[in-house]
């Protein structure tokens, strides 16, 4: 079974403190992954107080690019350092994690379509590694470089690797309705459009609304859940809100 899992940046960092890892939360997530020992796992992590802050400071987003190499490097370097922290903790837990940096493999064309070749990721996965991707900047024809979000990466990875199960571990226990209750299932966006909103901290990729839209595009069922449900998700049990387009 192929599992694609995203650890939200708000889970593994303190989004109110620039470039601060939440050590306890990251350790707990790594330990849960190690204990589950999934056969085929691809991991994606968000930018949190690293990439989102660096990108916002330099005016780079999904739509707005930059031709300034120093700006592009600053955003990528912030994400690389967070990725290094994630890899170190996974290794400490005994997980065979290896990095895959989107800046080196992905690109957008002039029409905004994202190309993400998966040969490297698929080969690493087949050889028993856990590829770890992350939100990043990527070359964008006519715009320099723009942000690629973890949600975009999840969509491409799930489709290209024929994922059986997709998870998005966030700081919320699921997707909430207007009354603050967790929705058990979402099958189309319009029914939850008024309930979902943006992130409550700096986020250049669209917040919960963008996450729901991205997950609705998948063929595999996706789950949005909090850290306390990570072990259940990895065990194949229901977790949080199930999103099936």
Binding site residues for ATP, as ranges?
6-10, 48, 207, 211
Q: Provide the pairing of β-strand 130-134 with 40-45.
A: parallel
For residue 156, give the nearest of 84, 234, 214 by alpha carbon: 214
For residues 102 and 107, give the distance between their C-alpha atoms in angstroms, rounded to a whole number.
8
Beta carbons within 8 Å of 196's beta carbon, 6+ residues apart:
175, 207, 208, 209, 212
Tokens 């900047």 found at: 137
166 close to 222: Cβ distance less than 8 angstroms? yes
85 burial via Cβ count (<10 Å: 0-12, 13-18, 19+)? middle
133 close to 102: Cβ distance less than 8 angstroms? yes
For residues 18 and 49, give the distance between their C-alpha atoms in angstroms, rounded to a whole number.
5
Q: List binding-site positions.
A: 6-10, 47-48, 52, 150, 207, 211
Q: List binding-site positions for substrate.
A: 47, 52, 150
């Amino acid at each position: 079974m192929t599992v694609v899992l995203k650890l939200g940046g708000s889970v593994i960092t303190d989004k109110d403190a620039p470039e601060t890892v939440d050590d306890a939360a990251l350790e707990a997530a790594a330990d849960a992954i190690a204990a589950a020992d999934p056969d085929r796992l691809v991991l994606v992590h968000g930018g949190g107080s690293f990439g989102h802050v660096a990108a916002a400071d330099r005016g780079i987003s999904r739509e707005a690019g930059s031709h300034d190499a120093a700006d592009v490097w600053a955003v990528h370097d912030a994400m690389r350092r967070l990725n290094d922290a994630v890899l170190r903790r996974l290794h400490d837990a005994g997980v065979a994690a290896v990095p895959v940096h989107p800046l080196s493999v992905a690109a957008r064309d002039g029409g905004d379509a994202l190309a993400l070749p998966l040969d490297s990721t698929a080969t690493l996965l087949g050889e028993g590694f856990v590829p770890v991707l992350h939100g990043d900047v990527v070359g964008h024809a006519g715009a320099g470089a723009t942000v690629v979000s973890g949600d975009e990466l999840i969509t491409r990875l799930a489709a290209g690797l024929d994922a059986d199960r997709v998870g998005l571990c966030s700081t919320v226990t699921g997707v909430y309705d207007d009354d603050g209750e967790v929705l058990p299932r979402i099958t189309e966006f319009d029914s939850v459009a008024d309930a979902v909103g943006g992130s409550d901290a700096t986020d250049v990729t669209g917040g919960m609304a963008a996450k729901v839209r991205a997950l609705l595009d998948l063929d595999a069922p996706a789950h949005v859940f909090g850290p306390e449900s990570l072990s259940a998700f990895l065990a194949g049990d229901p977790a949080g809100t199930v999103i099936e387009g």
